[in-house]
Amino acid sequence: MIVVFMAALLAIPRGPRSGPAPEEPVQQQQLSDAELRERIDTYLSALDRPARAADWKALGPPAAPILEAIIADEGQLPSRRAKAVDGLVAAAPDRASGLVGTIAKDERQPVVVRVAAMHGAGRVLPPSRAISELRPVLRNAKSAGLRAEAADVLARRQGGCAEVRGQVAREKSEHRAAFTRAMKRCGE
């Protein structure tokens, strides 16, 4: 019976696989303060389907002060703060660019918030600034996992692979496996 079920599942026609849809221009929504807060809360509370970057982008810069307050509020759940970082990066990249490096380097921040900030830095900062902001994380983070995550972000940026290679050479042999993904991005 199980074999028949499995065969039926395999026989189901599937649509063509395609890559991610090209990013379409997003029109900023005009919302009242209450509607904006409600929309942000909805996006931050999403569990099964996280808000897409386009959803955040549609909120635009007016969402920045609300998201910045959530990011700064250590009483908020770390996962909620990390989502707020993602939202800020998409909705107000100029505002995010002044914040993500500081958060990424702050050892007192929860790991998930720091990781969101590192990925945000990779998206909103020019390559040279992303490297200078994430270099301290790459070299000095207490966790090899965080150092490897910084390496992965830097490996995606022009000029970042030299930093990654240098760090891998400095790592203890038992930590080098964590850098495999970054090294593959760097062609090694």
In this prediction, residue 48 has a pLDDT band, given cuts at 50, 70 and 90, of: confident
Instruction: Give the Cα-Cα-Cα angle 158, 57, 135 (nearest 5 degrees).
Output: 30
Cβ neighbours for 61, distance < 8 A, ≥ 6 positions apart: 91, 92, 94, 95
How far apart CA 25 and CA 57 sit, in angstroms, is: 10
- Give the residue extent of every domain in the chain: 33-125, 128-188
pLDDT digits (tens, 9 = 90+) for 56-112: 999 999 999 999 999 999 999 999 999 999 999 999 999 999 999 999 999 999 999
pLDDT digits (tens, 9 = 90+) for 9-42: 344 444 333 334 445 556 667 888 899 999 999 9
In this prediction, residue 4 has a pLDDT band, given cuts at 50, 70 and 90, of: very low
pLDDT digits (tens, 9 = 90+) for 89-98: 999 999 999 9
Nearest Cα residue to 79 out of 43, 53, 122, 34:
43
pLDDT number for residue 47 = 86
In this prediction, residue 149 has a pLDDT band, given cuts at 50, 70 and 90, of: very high
Mean residue pLDDT of the chain comes to 87
pLDDT number for residue 30 = 83
Nearest Cα residue to 185 out of 163, 90, 145:
163
Single pTM value for the model: 0.82
Residues in the chain: 188
Q: Is the pLDDT of residue 7 over 70?
A: no
